[in-house]
């Protein structure tokens, strides 16, 4: 099975900082990659799918890129409401594995 590895596991950044989270697949998955945001005590929310397509209603400071095995989620200017754990997920084939998550905090 394809493994999904996110880095870093956690990060602390200042408001206004550019934040980048990476997700690496152990095999090529084309662009079948989604990013989710889970705020503390809340259910996950879809941010991006097809590696770079912004889900409706998601702020434009979120963006995704990559193809093949290496992907990134970028928050262009971190805001306090972005404190959350972010997960990538592959969906080209089953199992639809999630990454282990990246916890984003405010410094």
Partner 1 sequence: EVQLLESGGGLVQPGGSLRLSCAASGFTFTTYAMSWVRQAPGKGLEWVSIITGSGHSTYYADSVKGRFTISRDNSKSTLFVQMNSLRVEDTAVYYCAKSIPSSGYLFPPIDSWGQGTLVTVSS
Residues found near partner 1 in the complex (CB under 8 A): 1, 32, 34, 36, 38, 43-46, 49, 55, 85, 87, 89, 91-101
| Contact assessment for residue 6 and residue 88, using Cβ atoms and an 8 Å cutoff | yes
The least distance separating partner 1 from the CB of residue 104, rounded to whole angstroms, comes to: 14
Nearer to partner 1, 80 or 95 (CB): 95
Q: How far apart are CA 102 and CA 24, in angstroms?
A: 13
- The helix/strand count (H/E) of the chain reads as 0, 10
Closest distance between partner 1 and the C-beta of residue 79, in Å?
22
CA distance 21 to 56: 21
By beta-carbon proximity to partner 1, the closer residue of 51 and 78 is 51
Q: Which is nearer to partner 1, 75 or 97 (CB)?
A: 97
Q: How far is the CB of 81 from partner 1 (least distance, A)?
A: 19
CA distances from 77 to 61, 64, 73, 81, 91 (A): 6, 14, 12, 11, 28
Token code pair at residue 98: 């999630």
Find the shortest distance in angstroms from Cβ 15 to partner 1. 26
């Amino acid at each position: 099975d394809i493994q999904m590895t996110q880095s870093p596991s956690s990060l602390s950044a200042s408001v206004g900082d550019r934040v980048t989270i990476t997700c690496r697949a152990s095999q090529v998955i084309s662009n079948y990659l989604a990013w989710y945001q889970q705020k503390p005590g809340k259910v996950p929310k879809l941010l991006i799918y097809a590696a770079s397509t912004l889900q409706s209603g998601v702020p434009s400071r979120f963006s995704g890129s990559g193809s093949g095995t290496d992907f990134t989620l970028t928050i262009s200017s971190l805001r306090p409401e972005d404190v959350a754990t972010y997960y990538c997920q592959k969906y080209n084939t089953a199992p639809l594995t999630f990454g282990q998550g990246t916890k984003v905090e405010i410094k």
